[in-house]
Structure 1
Amino acid sequence: MTTTAPAPRIAIIGSALSGNKGASAMLESSIATLSERIPGVRFTLFSMYPAEDRAQNEYESLDIIDARPRQLGVTINTLALLYRVLPFLRPMLRSRSRAIGALASSQVLLDQGGITFTDGREKFLLYNVASILPALMVKTPVFKCAQAVGPFRNSVNRWAARRFLPRVHTLVTRGRITHEFAEQLGLTNLFAGADYAFSLELDGTEQASAAAHFDLGFFDTDAVVVGISPSVVLQKKVEARGADYVAEVAGFIDAMTASGRRVVLFPHSVRTGTDKTHNNDLPLCTRIFERLERRDGVLFIDRELSSQTLRYLIGRCDYFVASRFHAMVSSLAMSVPTLVIGWSHKYQEVLEMFQLDEWAFGHDKLEPAFLLERFDALVQAESTVREKLRSNLPTVKATSVAQADLIAAIVNESTGARA
């Protein structure tokens, strides 16, 4: 009598289908690339927004488990600790807890947090630890997909990073600066990669999807189209120094339309049906749109779209001004000359891969005159910028998809040993 081996399983945390479309792009890229490499593989997403993610889940191979902060930090971590210290409870925990059962049966946990263990983000440190600790306690390898970490000057962050990062199987660094921070911490479990969202492919349905919501004739004129993606994270940092972020972005858009250009206003992170601003740029973009002096030259993407549809629309722009990290990734992936207003090294190190790091500046420099000056400089340098995008993009994409091969090797090694 023969028995059928269980399907290989991969657990995922830190990404989502709903809300932040960068997280969606990472999740969907991993499902696509790993399904190609591991026949029959199933995925379990530990979701911060389980109801919203289930409503948007079109993948038969993807299961979704409630991992909202309290559920993850208290319930799942406590059960994982019991699993670790009380071996006689393990069969019961695997059968009674979907979370523990999923972790124990998975060959690897993918942590797709975009930025973790970073100075200045200590309020997220507990979540960074709670995301990977249950897998470590049930002895499921942790693979940290391409992300930014460091610097580690803060004593609390440095202690946590030294305690937990060496225990993960692989940490994929998302650029030179992160890699140097990780090496300075003494980590050796590193792979120099590129963001997983660079692996996201369009399937040809995006134009029809966009046209169902918006008149795409907006793009079919001789006018130059400028895309812009504001960010509530950047807004908080700008307003903390007393500036009016909404007024500054609205002023830039008005300057663009006054010059005869058209503007597409992109909220790249949207949570439908709520005014909460965590992972939700829509309320901010609505305020910016309402502040405009003229709106007839502006297309406001005023609803949640898929990551692929957003990437398609971004690709229709002639230039892009990004503050959301994965909006920047999409514009680079679509070879659109991009100006970046950021708040961390994570922007600069990705632009470095394209030899375009001069086109990023920090939120502390955001003033109307400086923003217009840098945009005009980008326009003047367009041909050089486009050539650098064209020549570097294939290498960046190959570096991104290389992590799928690393993950597949872990899964295949584990299933082979189990067999």
Structure 2
Amino acid sequence: MTTHRIAIIGSALSGNKGASAMLESAVQTLTDRLGDVEFTLLSMYPAEDDAQNHYPNLKIVKADPATLGVRINSLALLHRLLPPLRPLLRRDKAVRALAEADVLLDQGGITFTDGREKFLLYNVASILPALNLGTPVFKCAQAVGPFKNPINRIVSKIFLPKAACTVTRGRITHEYAEGLGLTNIVAGADYAFSLEMDGTEAESVSRHLDLSFFDRGDVVGVCPSVVLQKKVDARGGDYIGQMVSFIEHLRAEGKKVLLIPHSVRTGTTKTHNNDLPLCTEINGRLRMGNDLLFVDRELSSQELRYLIGRCHLFVASRFHAMVSSLAMAVPTLVIGWSHKYREVLEMFELEEWAFGHDQLTPEHLTQRFADLEARRDEVQAKLDQHLPEVKANSLMQADLIAELVRKA
């Protein structure tokens, strides 16, 4: 039996559980399709990812920004320019993994987009070693564009056409990509919609949380985001105060609230990819009571999806918390910061249930939630109608990757 090798970058097991959901979806679906597959994750947090890795066919290799930007990119360039040195250069684990891989999966959730120019160098550094090593790059479903900024437009026109395929994660991204003149694009849906649970989630979650909380009364899930906090506070707002006010409003109406961080890094107070400090402060300002359940630890992407699926309604600010709620057919209100939220909701004809952080006020949030609650049955019907097609569009990219690997 042929052993296939797949390298992955841009996702993780630890920290942002959206990244974990994308990574695990790839491992699950491609193992199903290809059989004997060895995966290598080029990891920004190698120690944390390695500690949470339970997949026997997944290896973790260090690729933090400094290592990726300097060491891996330099060695890959030398590998291209100096063929006699290739055996020596392949002693580096990352270079060897990329050189031997049938494909590199780029799972960056949003790349090459205006307003995020500070990440542009990382977007390039993530795929350039594979290009120099002659390994095809498959950009899994993600948001790209817009491309009005001259720097982003120039760099995007150079590098995006070099990918074997880019799966666009919604209509808006697809239109941006077509406007740039890209022809190597396929319309799809986020890979995390393909994530499968194994049925053990309730048992594992119950070791940390009292699941009888969900037995009686409606539960509203609330998932704050430190990214939103920074944007709201930068314009003079009080994100934490607004979340506290909203949650207490829900409780005053007789609802239970699940306060759930969807991006957690255990053992650190740093806030990059870590909403736990934010949620801890919000929880600390709330009155105590049995109508509030706070998830105060890092859970797996499957455990989080299980908990979100137990909610009656959901309010999301983390993108992949929204994906999980939609995947579990939970009516959802979204507070976002880019087109990536709206274009996914469009797949369900539910784009009206997203608004930008610039519109966030206690009054607007309370009113929009009241509207969602009043039209819950209508929203539920659209979720039930469109979810099978969205999942199929997510799984489609696994078929495309498997076809590319078999041809390698």
Question: Aligning the two structures, in what range does the TM-score lie when normalised by the shorter sequence?
Answer: over 0.9
| DSSP 3-state at the match of 2:315 | strand
The one-letter code matched in structure 1 to 2:375 is A
Give the equivalent residue in structure 2 for 1:97. 92
Give the equivalent residue in structure 2 for 1:417. none
Q: Give the 4+ runs in structure 1 shifted more than 6 A.
A: none
- 1:23 matched to 2:19? The reply is yes
Give the equivalent residue in structure 2 for 1:73. 69
Partners of 1:322 and 1:39 lie apart in 2 by 36
The one-letter code matched in structure 2 to 1:243 is G
Give the equivalent residue in structure 1 for 2:234. 240
Q: Is the contact between residue 354 and residue 393 of structure 1 (CA under 8 Å) also seen in structure 2?
A: yes
Deviation (angstroms), 1:39: 1.5
Question: Aligned runs of 1:5-404 on 2, under 5 Å?
Answer: 7-94=3-90, 96-221=91-216, 223-404=217-398
The one-letter code matched in structure 1 to 2:339 is H
Partners of 1:296 and 1:391 lie apart in 2 by 35
Number of residues paired by the alignment? 408
| DSSP 3-state at the match of 2:104 | strand
Deviation (angstroms), 1:374: 0.2
Deviation (angstroms), 1:404: 0.3
Partners of 2:262 and 2:32 lie apart in 1 by 28
Q: Is the contact between residue 171 and residue 189 of structure 1 (CA under 8 Å) also seen in structure 2?
A: yes
Partners of 2:347 and 2:287 lie apart in 1 by 38
| DSSP 3-state at the match of 2:314 | strand
| DSSP 3-state at the match of 1:275 | coil
Partners of 2:103 and 2:118 lie apart in 1 by 27
TM superposition score normalised by structure 2: 0.99
The one-letter code matched in structure 2 to 1:35 is T
The one-letter code matched in structure 2 to 1:300 is F
Deviation (angstroms), 1:224: 1.2
The one-letter code matched in structure 2 to 1:274 is T
Deviation (angstroms), 1:293: 3.6
Partners of 1:244 and 1:292 lie apart in 2 by 15
Partners of 2:42 and 2:94 lie apart in 1 by 8
| DSSP 3-state at the match of 1:11 | strand
Deviation (angstroms), 1:142: 0.2
User: Any stretches of 5+ residues in structure 2 without a counterpart?
Assistant: none
Partners of 2:32 and 2:220 lie apart in 1 by 36
Partners of 1:77 and 1:49 lie apart in 2 by 18
Deviation (angstroms), 1:295: 4.2
Deviation (angstroms), 1:90: 1.1
Partners of 2:110 and 2:403 lie apart in 1 by 25
Superposed CA RMSD: 0.8
Deviations 1:100-127 (A, max 9, x none): 1101100000000000001111111111
TM superposition score normalised by structure 1: 0.96
